[in-house]
Structure 1
Amino acid sequence: MEEFLERSLQMIEQAGWLAPLFFILLHVFRQVFFVPVLFICLLGGYIFGTFYGSVYSVIGLTLVSIIFYGIIELFPSLRGKLGRLQEKILLGKHQLNIAQLMVLRMMPFVHFHVISIYLLKTTSSFRQYTKRSLLVSIPPAIVYTAFGDMIHELPLAGTIVFIAFLLILMLVLRKKETTISWETFFQKN
């Protein structure tokens, strides 16, 4: 993996005007080599700077989500298996709003496609899924690109404080309404 990343970095740096395209494709192929989103976004900030690195990362992450949508549509059994995994990780039937999904997407230990499968389950069309995937991809692209070195080099205590902050932020941003179905409310005993 390390050799792949070094070769990718060299190729992107030497590509000139094709570098953004290669970087976006690196986002797409990173899954195959189990490279975390965090590292690719850090790389984007290193090579392109905060603004362009963020833009290219948002494009790459959205493209990954679109490809994931296509794969899930081709293999419905995979959708069921990933859906059960997503329910275990996100604890069942909680309704998460866009702000919470943005925070979850920034957490390095939450797998990228867990959020994608949640978006897939909660959207009614490809267009809505793509729009929400784009929105949810913006914060991690910006944060990891702009502050990646700081997050990456934080001591353990700093990392724990940052993760605690993200968890508190997710709880504060949660949806504050409860929906009870008609059948549940008027259950026959």
Structure 2
Amino acid sequence: MEQKLTLIMSFLQTGSIMAPIFFIVFHVLRQFLFIPVVVVCITGGILFGAFAGTLYSVIGLTLSCIAFYVAVHQFPRFMARILQMKNKCFGNRKLNSQQVAVLRLIPFIHYHLLSLCLMETKKGLKDYSYASFLTNIPLAFIYTIFGNYIRAFSPTLIILLLLSLSLLFYLVREKQTVIPWKEFFSQNSAG
């Protein structure tokens, strides 16, 4: 198993000139597969190293933002839903590019929600694309550097780390007990 993972990683690192193109396209497709941006950026650091991984991630994230811009303008209902989510999170406040760049470093904030915040302050595709490019640099740099350090680990250790984080994510979830209405009142009136 470890040999197969090493072979795949070495193929993607040096074996194919198409690997960077696939990685950039994967950044654009990531939003439809519901994969967090952070995971893809860390993977870029593991596969391509700090400099190339950051470069490919910035290109892929900027193309993802442009695809989001086009989608929002093509589907008004989608825009309305994202605006509603933005108003719940930030109210009517408008965030500047520096604020968006900092908030993009927080993995739990919806990536395209912040893209919408950029859209509100930057009019036109050209200004929006440039602002997206600039706000993606810190995100791609920090998480790709993290992925580059993980690269020194063995594939088995990487898988164990990811499985441990998945287990931790499951264990810290919010636990709720749902009691049906009738059952709640039948127990309550008996006692």
Same fold (TM over 0.5): yes
**Paired residue for 2:141?**
142
Whole-Å separation in 2 of the counterparts to 1:22 and 1:77 = 31
**Paired residue for 2:110?**
111
Any stretches of 5+ residues in structure 1 without a counterpart? 1-7, 157-189
SS at match of 2:33: coil
Whole-Å separation in 2 of the counterparts to 1:73 and 1:9 = 38
How far 1:11 sits from its partner (Å)? Answer: 7.2
Whole-Å separation in 2 of the counterparts to 1:32 and 1:13 = 25
**Paired residue for 1:71?**
71
Whole-Å separation in 2 of the counterparts to 1:114 and 1:98 = 13
CA-based RMSD:
2.3
Amino acid at match of 1:137: N
Whole-Å separation in 1 of the counterparts to 2:146 and 2:13 = 21
How far 1:94 sits from its partner (Å)? Answer: 2.2
Whole-Å separation in 1 of the counterparts to 2:10 and 2:87 = 40
Whole-Å separation in 1 of the counterparts to 2:37 and 2:9 = 15
Tell me if the contact between 2:27 and 2:64 (Cα under 8 Å) persists in the aligned partners: yes
Query: Segments of 4+ in structure 1 off by > 6 A?
Result: 8-11
Structure with greater Cα Rg:
2
User: What's the TM-score, normalizing by structure 2?
Assistant: 0.69
How far 1:14 sits from its partner (Å)? Answer: 7.2
Deviations 1:79-128 (A, max 9, x none): 12211111211x21223222211110110000111001111222211101
Tell me if the contact between 1:83 and 1:118 (Cα under 8 Å) persists in the aligned partners: no
Is 1:82–2:82 an aligned residue pair?
Answer: yes
SS at match of 1:106: coil
Question: Which protein, 1 or 2, shows the higher relative CO under an 8 Å CA cutoff with sep ≥ 6?
Answer: 2
**Paired residue for 1:3?**
none
Whole-Å separation in 1 of the counterparts to 2:146 and 2:126 = 31
Seq. identity, %: 40
Whole-Å separation in 1 of the counterparts to 2:16 and 2:61 = 22
In the TM superposition, what are the counterparts of 1:93-132 in structure 2 within 5 Å?
93-132=92-131
Amino acid at match of 2:101: M
Tell me if the contact between 1:12 and 1:23 (Cα under 8 Å) persists in the aligned partners: no
Cα–Cα, structure 1 residues 25 and 10, in superposed 2: closer, same or farther, change >3 Å?
Answer: farther
Cα–Cα, structure 1 residues 11 and 28, in superposed 2: closer, same or farther, change >3 Å?
Answer: farther
SS at match of 1:62: helix
Any stretches of 5+ residues in structure 2 without a counterpart? 1-7, 151-157, 166-191
Tell me the number of residue pairs that the alignment of Structure 1 and Structure 2 aligns: 145
